[in-house]
Amino acid sequence: MTDEAADAAGDVVYGLLRLAGMDVALPLSALREVVPCPLQLAGLPASAPGLLGAIELRRLVLPVVDLRPIIGRPDERRPDQVVVVVAHDGQVLGLLADEVRGVTQLPSSALVAARAHGERLLFSHTFRHPETGRAHSVLDAAAVLSRPGVPTVDDVTRKTAAVHSRGRGSGAARMLTVVRCGDHRFAIDAAHVHTTLPTPDLRASVLSGPTCPGVITYAEREVPVVDPLALLGLGRLGRDQTGAGLVLDLGTGYVVLALTALLELAEVPAADVLPLPSYAVARPELVTGMVEVDGVGDCLVLAGDALLADPQMSGFASVNTAVASTTDRGDGAATAAAVAAATATGAPSYLTFSVGVDVAVQLEQIVEILPHPASLTDTAVDGLLGTIVHRRTAVPVFCLSTLLGRGQRPPTETSCVLLVSVDGELAAFAVDVLRSIDPLTWRDEGQQVRGSAEERGATLRTAPLVRVGAHTRLLPELDLRAIARAATAGRAAGTPELATAR
């Protein structure tokens, strides 16, 4: 891509890749799709630096190239690597990559041209990511496909699609990531996709339930995985049907949609996304329409903005748990052993969070975690922020910081609400930010109980001290049920506040 072409192109959407320890980018116009790379590839009667072999991709036997030997990097193989299908001038080639890291849109003014005397580079421009500040190199698709001795094949699927598309008229286009979940096919705007995972390592978790089959480790966090079929009211995705993942960044954290397979990245005319009657789907607010994708068939088009704003998705995003490394733990071996022993012996799990001070509560007390409501019905009761309606139930929302004698704290973008069941009724507590979910590793069993037994854990003063997970510090263990009982009993007796001794 020349400087003149870049200036004329305006804003361009790029797919972000991790390759040979480097951050690189490809214009989405050159990035066809991403598929898992098998450890064993089919042989080809050709020889060229970096040529690994070929994979079968629908109508294609696609040659696959690893750029690392060409640029002098170690060419180690990993089972989680992917093949990026790169296209230029009617030809396609598979490019080995470590992972896909989402998309970004940039103006041409953000690109800096790169040149080398006497040699054609594999990249044409560089830029800094507008959000992370990381340096990226824009791969030159023409240079990659024109490497000496590297075979390419005709882009037959796109030629068919181009002939078919010409009859639809011109207009705005949408770039969609197309996926399969069991027997269902979905599409979502590529701009809403943070990255894709070809083979997520799904593990059971305390968060596991009908909508969340487990968690995976991503970006040094333990991230909840959501079953899109359960979310949309279309059934359940079997564990044996989960073979890929689609990472969404909700701002407060990540959520991974469980998939059976990543199908392709498809460009379709915006007019081809047809509206769907609201009564035709169980969650019409999460489905924007249907589209027919060439070579794939009919797909439900997910409403990306609504999906990222969905309260249930936001709740899962808010409980990303940092995966501590041994360098962060002081005595790493001893701490890791303590956590492993606690998990093996079935120690209870704790949710840690902040109300201006970090505290812990047994996870089994929490019925549900909700995003902080945008609005509440005010009741003008001290310590009570208001009420919300959740699942056809009116729920009072308390400011936990106020009940603990620390004063009311205004909500922020990390604030959330913990839902607790108390004597058959629901109560909610607003907190500042969630920290982690970890097993109990130590409790101060000999701590003297101050106050009555019913008050133990209802105030910071009476809360026993615990240590959870890899944390070395001691945290007060709150009893949210006891706090709720004390708060509601005080209201019933006409007492405006809890006792001030905390």
Residue 172: left if φ>0, alpha if ψ -120 to 50, beta else—which one?
beta
Predicted pLDDT of residue 484: 92
Residue of 116, 34, 102 whose CA lies nearest to 71? 116
pLDDT at 167: 38
- The secondary structure of 142-204, three-state, reads HHHHCCCCCCCEECHHHHHHHHHHHCCCCCCEEEEEEEEECCEEEEEEHHHCCEEECCCCCEC
Q: Where do we find the tokens 């989402």?
A: 102
Look at residue 227 in the predicted model and tell me its pLDDT. Answer: 95
| Residue 3 pLDDT | 36
The whole-number pLDDT of residue 448 equals 64
Burial of 262 (0-12, 13-18, 19+ CB in 10 A): buried
Q: What local confidence, expressed as pLDDT, does residue 198 receive? A: 67
Q: 306 — alpha (psi -120 to 50), left (phi > 0) or beta?
A: alpha
Average pLDDT by stretches of 10, the chain with 502 residues: 42 84 88 82 90 85 92 81 89 90 82 84 90 88 90 72 38 82 93 75 78 85 91 92 88 90 82 92 94 90 93 83 51 50 65 90 89 86 87 92 89 87 92 85 72 78 85 86 86 47 40
What local confidence, expressed as pLDDT, does residue 170 receive?
42
For domain 3-160, give the CATH number. Answer: 2.40.50.180
Domain locations along the chain: 3-160, 170-317, 343-492
The identity of residue 403, as a single letter, is L
Cβ contacts of 498 within 8 Å, gap of 6 or more: 383, 403, 405, 459, 486, 487, 490
Alpha-carbon distance values, 153 to 29, 34, 45, 64 (Å): 17, 17, 14, 11
Residues with Cβ within 8 Å of 466's Cβ and at least 6 positions away in sequence, in order, are 350, 360, 440, 442, 443, 444, 474, 475, 476, 477
170-317 in CATH: which number?
2.40.50.180
Structural fold of domain 343-492: OB fold (Dihydrolipoamide Acetyltransferase, E2P) (2.40.50)
Identical fold between 170-317 and 343-492: yes
